[in-house]
Homo-oligomer: A and B are copies of this chain.
Amino acid sequence: MSAKSYRIAKIPGDGTGPEVVREAVKVLDAVAEKEGFKIEWVEYDLGGERYLRTGEILPAGVIDELRQMDAILLGAIGHPDVKPGVLERGLLLELRFQLDQYVNLRPVTLFPGVYTPVKDKGPEDIDFVVVRENTEGLYAGAGGILRKGTPHEVAVQESINTRMGVERCIRFAFEYCRKRNKKKKVTLCGKTNVLIYAFDLWERTFREVAREYPDIETDYAHVDAICMWMVKNPEWFDVIVTDNMFGDIITDLGAMIQGGMGIAAGGNINPNGVSMFEPIGGSAPKYTGKNVINPLAAICAGQMMLEHLGEEKAAQRVLEAVKRAVARDIKDLGAGKMGMTTQEVGDLVARYA
């Protein structure tokens, strides 16, 4: 019998993307060998460089090819010479939407030895997961502008929420919470007192789905309160479920309290299709090509991917290796402050894994 093998699309993308993806690949290949499976990497040249060269953002056929993959590992999207929004919407959001990756899964975990900017909180306090809806809400791109450029201009932006979209996301949160098996609590983050249509649907659906999970405690908080508590009482959270826009905001705040963009990773999950994993920081043009960017976030994205593929033991190896590296070797998670190069961090984690 031949070894198990995965076909993984690799999209290094822009800026520091290629540098961090290279290290993630190094680490994943190392654990694959140890655990006796194979990863076949299929590289896609997408991002700002290609757009500037050819005018193409997401060439025809690519989406269909990606659908055949076991997963996707993405570096970063965003180029200083391309108007902000073009690549984010044309590529990143387009992939999320077209591949129907309806959950953006963002663990917020403080590893021992990592600096958090909040006081009096340690790894036992900062350990929760945000389940962000990833295919609708304000990200639908719906809206328009009337009388543009005149004193009477009106700009409308619409948050579109469907029962189907909200329900599958909330159900994912409850399932994930049960599997996670920690505090067994799902908190809905919304703004029911102002967004009376959108969060009426969210709140009703949340209550209905919750009934199917009597073993799981539920809670609700307004998004403004959630932001305060993430700083003051992060230990209150286990799984937070929320819409696309609020999820975007609170996961960046989450990234900050867990140590910053050097370590924060996320997965764009379609449980019935192909999922995409990414470090959540950007393309960091100012550090590009300098061998100083922190690859741990990309490595952690790879770790999430292994878990998603069912390679639990390999995922565990990577997790332990990252923890060991941050606890013992890496001085600071910031770019240029690690006390070692991008490549050295990758080598180290590959060795520990």
Q: Which residues of A contact B (CB under 8 A)?
A: 84-85, 88-89, 93, 116-120, 138-139, 141, 143-145, 147, 149-164, 191-198, 200-201, 204, 223-225, 227-228, 231-232, 245-246, 248-253, 255-257, 260
Chain B residue numbers with a CB within 8 Å of A84 are 192-193
Cα of A223 to Cα of B248 in the assembled complex, Å: 9
Q: Which of B118, B152, B197 contacts A163 (CB 8 A)?
A: B152
- Which of A118, A144, A151, A246 counts the most B-chain CB atoms under 10 A from its CB? A118
> Which of B145, B161, B192, B249 sits near A201, CB closer than 8 Å?
B145
Pick the residue among B85, B119, B162 that contacts A154 (CB under 8 A).
Answer: B162
Contacts of A138 in B (CB 8 A): 159, 194-195
A196–B163 contact, CB under 8 A? no
Instruction: Give the contacting residue for A256; candidates B160, B204, B227; CB below 8 A.
Output: B227
Known: A119-B119, A145-B200, A153-B162. A252 touches B232 (CB 8 A): no
> A143's closest neighbor in chain B, by CB?
B197
Q: A157-B158, A191-B248, A227-B249 are in contact. List 20 more A-B contacts (CB 8 A).
A: A85-B192, A85-B196, A88-B193, A117-B120, A119-B119, A141-B194, A143-B196, A145-B201, A147-B163, A152-B162, A152-B163, A153-B201, A155-B161, A155-B197, A158-B158, A224-B248, A224-B249, A224-B252, A227-B227, A253-B253
> A192: shortest Cβ distance to chain B, in Å?
6
Residues of B within 8 A of A251 (CB): 224
CB of A230, distance to nearest CB on chain B (Å): 9
The 4 closest A-B pairs by CB, nearest first: A224-B252, A155-B201, A153-B163, A85-B193
Whether the pair A164, B141 counts as a contact (CB closer than 8 A) is: no
Q: How far is the CA of A305 from the CA of B181 in the complex (A)?
A: 50
In the bound complex, what is the Cα–Cα distance between A222 and B227 (angstroms)? 16
A-B contact pairs, 6 of them (CB 8 A): A116-B119, A139-B194, A155-B162, A155-B198, A156-B198, A228-B253
A151 touches B163 (CB 8 A): yes
Whether B157 contacts A89 by the Cβ 8 Å rule is no
Do A231 and B117 touch across chains, with their CB atoms under 8 A apart? yes
Minimal beta-carbon separation of A274 from chain B (angstroms): 23
Asked whether A160 and B154 contact (CB < 8 A) given A117-B119, A249-B249, the answer is: yes
* Interchain CA distance A170-B54 in the complex, whole Å: 39
Give the shortest distance, in Å, between A190 (CB) and chain B (any CB).
11
Q: How far is the CA of A200 from the CA of B146 in the complex (A)?
A: 12
* A256 and chain B: residue at smallest CB distance: B228
Q: Is the CB of A253 within 8 A of B231?
A: yes
- Cβ contacts under 8 Å, A260 to chain B: 232
A260 to B160, CA, bound (A): 33
Nearest neighbor of A93 in chain B, beta-carbon distance = B194
A9 to chain B, nearest CB (A): 23
Q: Would B201 and A223 count as touching, CB distance under 8 A?
A: no
